[in-house]
Structure 1
Amino acid sequence: MTEHNDPRTAPTAPPAFPVDAPLFSRAAWARILPFGAYIFFIILGDMLERTGMSRADLRWLYPVQIAVVALLLGVNWRSYHELRAPLPGLKQLLLALLVGVLVLVLWVNLDAPWMTVGSSPGYDPRTNGELDWLLILIRIAGAALVVPVMEELFWRSFVMRWVDAADFEALAPARVGIKGFLVSVVLFGFEHNLWLAGIVAGVAYSLLYMRHRNLWSAVIAHAVTNGLLGVWVVATGSWAFW
């Protein structure tokens, strides 16, 4: 004889998200807004160029972009609990530096046509054929000091963990699943014109974060890559890599 359960009394599984819960928490927005502002200025620059503004005229949009992102990071700094952790120890720091250099070497070599998507207008800091050192210094400082903090907070601290857990701050980096890892790495890769180099960089920074359980390791490696890339770009005149 088959036993039938009364559906009115049968227990129901709790929903994945409470019906009245917002999609993103305050901690999530603190990581989304600086990244969103950064992307907004990229889109704005593209739109202004389509209206007829020259790339030379748009170069000064970058300092504004970096200033806005830095301001948003400062306003939300108290929400970045992982950045209150002490800096990595000597061995971890050396590994982060090594990873940053390795990613740079791969980045400037993974530029075959099939490894790229779209085209990059680059950033040419020359004025009348002469290097504008103020633009160069702002570009390198922004890429090495602001962008790594902004992107690592968004891609590693937030996206990679949020894919696996809505309460992403409660998920230890070492416990990130394959889904969160792959989604964040692939999206990070295609954020860049050099998508394969971006994926490689995303894998490297993510593994550092997961292994060291310290976001500063990923930030430092990212900063080394971006800073040295800026020096290489200026030294070689390879403006397309900017």
Structure 2
Amino acid sequence: MTENNEPHVVSQPPAALSVDAPAVDVPFLSRAAWARILPFGTYIFFIVLGDMLERAGFARAELRWLYPVQIGAVAILLAVFWKQYTELRRPFVPLAQALLAVAVGVLVLVLWINLDKPWMVVGSSPGYDPRTAGEIDWLLVTIRIAGAALVVPVMEELFWRAFLMRWVEAADFERVDPARVGLKAFLVPVVLFGFEHNLWLAGIVAGVAYSLLYMRHRNLWSPVLAHAVTNGLLGIWVVATGSWAFW
């Protein structure tokens, strides 16, 4: 769930081979890897850019336009590389798996907004305030929730779960069966995903939940769905309660 403040087993797809398969000589970062890295890197770039502009004297309210540009740029990159995302060529998750993913997404949301004690937080986040002169700008709200629920889950699950978790296991990550990754490959992206957010413990909990879904269902659409539910409901809750710091 990247906002700055932003687990029935199915058959194994033909392309997802066991990690015991013969090694293939691949570069440190293949074209397939870059297709999953670049959208995520672009998203992070805009976060850093916003921070730099704020330090340069721009008011936070003046930088709200960066989010539509950020989401638009990520969406364009996802579209450009879409044919390379073999993880997403599988049909959407069956009903039973979808229901479990939705339930996990809701659970992560509940934990997310409650794991905010001082020791569970690193740094601070100004959040995203869509109000202008005290009035909510509903266009900004719509873009923010749509981006968080439709674009961010796809971008982040492709990077953290489909790529990084399997790449830590083997450089030829597309051949790695997510159900067979080792402890190191499980923990590295979970911890990094956690500290991508200032609510680091909530982020780690979310990373564990989404990773277990991917490993259990072997279908990336499962964690994408859970992630989308978490982010979408979080956006609704933020607007309803005015808790902008969670954005």
Q: TM-score if structure 2 supplies the norm length?
A: 0.90
1:17 CA displacement: 8.8
| Aligned residue type for 2:73 | V
- For residues 125 and 111 of structure 1, the distance between their equivalents in structure 2, rounded to whole angstroms, comes to 22
Given candidates 238, 241, 245, the residue that maps to 1:240 is 245
Q: Deviations over 1:160-204 (max 9, x none)?
A: 000010000000110111100000100000000100000000000
- For residues 88 and 145 of structure 1, the distance between their equivalents in structure 2, rounded to whole angstroms, comes to 16
Q: How many residues align?
A: 225
Match of 1:140 in 2: 145
Sequence identity of aligned pairs in percent? 80
Computing the radius of gyration from Cα coordinates, the structure with the larger value is 1
Given candidates 19, 28, 45, the residue that maps to 2:33 is 28
1:223 CA displacement: 0.1
- For residues 163 and 81 of structure 2, the distance between their equivalents in structure 1, rounded to whole angstroms, comes to 14
**Aligned 8 A contact 2:24 2:172 in 1:** no
| Aligned residue type for 1:90 | L
Q: Deviations over 1:118-156 (max 9, x none)?
A: 100100000000000000000000000000000000000
Match of 2:219 in 1: 214
- For residues 151 and 198 of structure 2, the distance between their equivalents in structure 1, rounded to whole angstroms, comes to 20
Given candidates 43, 51, 55, the residue that maps to 1:46 is 51
Match of 1:94 in 2: 99
Match of 1:124 in 2: 129
SS in 1 for 2:169: coil
- For residues 116 and 176 of structure 1, the distance between their equivalents in structure 2, rounded to whole angstroms, comes to 29
Q: Deviations over 1:208-230 (max 9, x none)?
A: 00000000000000000000000
What is the root-mean-square deviation in Å for CA atoms of aligned residues? 1.0
Q: TM-score if structure 1 supplies the norm length?
A: 0.92
SS in 2 for 1:38: helix
- For residues 132 and 73 of structure 2, the distance between their equivalents in structure 1, rounded to whole angstroms, comes to 25
- For residues 212 and 100 of structure 2, the distance between their equivalents in structure 1, rounded to whole angstroms, comes to 11
- For residues 140 and 230 of structure 2, the distance between their equivalents in structure 1, rounded to whole angstroms, comes to 19
1:64 equivalenced with 2:75 (yes/no):
no
1:189-200 matches, cutoff 5 A: 189-200=194-205
1:111 equivalenced with 2:116 (yes/no):
yes
SS in 2 for 1:163: helix
Q: Comparing both chains, which one has the higher relative contact order based on Cα–Cα distances under 8 Å and sequence gaps of 6 or more?
A: 2
1:76-91 matches, cutoff 5 A: 76-91=81-96
- For residues 180 and 127 of structure 1, the distance between their equivalents in structure 2, rounded to whole angstroms, comes to 44
- For residues 24 and 124 of structure 2, the distance between their equivalents in structure 1, rounded to whole angstroms, comes to 40
1:22 CA displacement: 2.9
- For residues 17 and 241 of structure 1, the distance between their equivalents in structure 2, rounded to whole angstroms, comes to 43
1:4-19 matches, cutoff 5 A: none
1:161 equivalenced with 2:166 (yes/no):
yes
- For residues 99 and 118 of structure 1, the distance between their equivalents in structure 2, rounded to whole angstroms, comes to 27
- For residues 231 and 171 of structure 2, the distance between their equivalents in structure 1, rounded to whole angstroms, comes to 31
Runs of 4+ in 1 over 4 A off after TM superposition: none
| Aligned residue type for 1:141 | A
1:47 CA displacement: 0.3
- For residues 134 and 202 of structure 1, the distance between their equivalents in structure 2, rounded to whole angstroms, comes to 30
- For residues 35 and 90 of structure 2, the distance between their equivalents in structure 1, rounded to whole angstroms, comes to 18
Q: Deviations over 1:1-22 (max 9, x none)?
A: xxxxxxxxxxxxxxx996xx53
- For residues 191 and 240 of structure 2, the distance between their equivalents in structure 1, rounded to whole angstroms, comes to 30
| Aligned residue type for 1:32 | I
